[in-house]
């Protein structure tokens, strides 16, 4: 059987982002080099920073969860107390208040600003807005001028510019001209023999 020549191949160094020859001498020489050592120390430093940030985020999340749990427990205790008060047989209902069953049985009620609501649970929670949020947009779902990258056109009216702004514009234009003159030889605009 014949033997085929196989290339030795290359080894990828994850720290230095380069290929090196895949033989023990090249690998050892590379790993003992200053560039590789610096890259390893940089990688370890970034790993330490990332782990510190991750640990800090986990602590903040745990602290937030504890605060949420405490508020939820407090709200639950408050709800239990109000439920026990409402189920107390000694408490009398006021004659001019509707019962909860009557309020739920009406299918269409009016909210505070006179707009009819067809929800089963009564009035909608919060304010009902009947006018469009953006009065400049005539058609619902039409793309805005920002979405289609339209630029605003000038009305043709001259802007009122203060003296400081005029001086700044003149200085900027003069600096641009000086820079163009300085850069002309590098742009190939004329031949220098």
| pLDDT value of residue 37 | 95
pLDDT tens-digit map of 82-128: 888 887 665 554 444 444 444 444 444 444 444 444 445 566 666 66
Residue 101 near residue 93 (C-beta atoms within 8 A): no
β-pairing, 18-21 with 109-110?
A: unpaired
Rounded Cα distance, 162 and 159, in Å? 10
Rounded Cα distance, 171 and 160, in Å? 18
Rounded Cα distance, 41 and 15, in Å? 9
Give the bridge partners for 18, in sequence order.
13
Residue 11 near residue 21 (C-beta atoms within 8 A): yes
What number of other Cβ atoms are within 10 A of residue 128's Cβ?
15
The reply to whether the predicted model has a pTM over 0.75 is: no
pLDDT tens-digit map of 161-186: 889 999 999 999 999 899 888 877 76
pLDDT tens-digit map of 143-161: 665 555 556 666 666 677 8
């Amino acid at each position: 059987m014949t033997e085929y020549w196989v290339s030795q191949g290359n080894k990828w160094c994850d720290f230095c982002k380069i290929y090196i020859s895949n033989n023990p001498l090249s690998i050892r020489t590379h790993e003992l080099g200053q560039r590789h050592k610096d890259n390893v120390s940089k990688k370890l430093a970034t790993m330490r920073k990332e782990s510190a940030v991750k640990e800090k985020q986990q602590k903040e999340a745990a602290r937030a969860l504890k605060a949420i749990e405490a508020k939820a427990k407090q709200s639950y205790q408050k709800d239990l107390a109000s439920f026990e008060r409402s189920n107390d047989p000694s408490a009398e209902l006021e004659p001019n208040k509707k019962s909860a069953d009557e309020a739920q049985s009406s299918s269409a009620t009016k909210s505070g600003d006179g707009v009819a609501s067809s929800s089963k649970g009564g009035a909608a929670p919060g304010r009902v807005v009947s006018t469009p949020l953006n009065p400049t947009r005539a058609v619902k779902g039409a793309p805005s001028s920002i979405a289609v990258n339209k630029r605003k056109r000038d009305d043709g009216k001259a802007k009122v510019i203060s003296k400081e702004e005029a001086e700044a514009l003149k200085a900027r234009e003069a600096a641009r001209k000086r820079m163009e003159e300085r850069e002309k030889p590098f742009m190939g605009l004329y031949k220098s023999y």
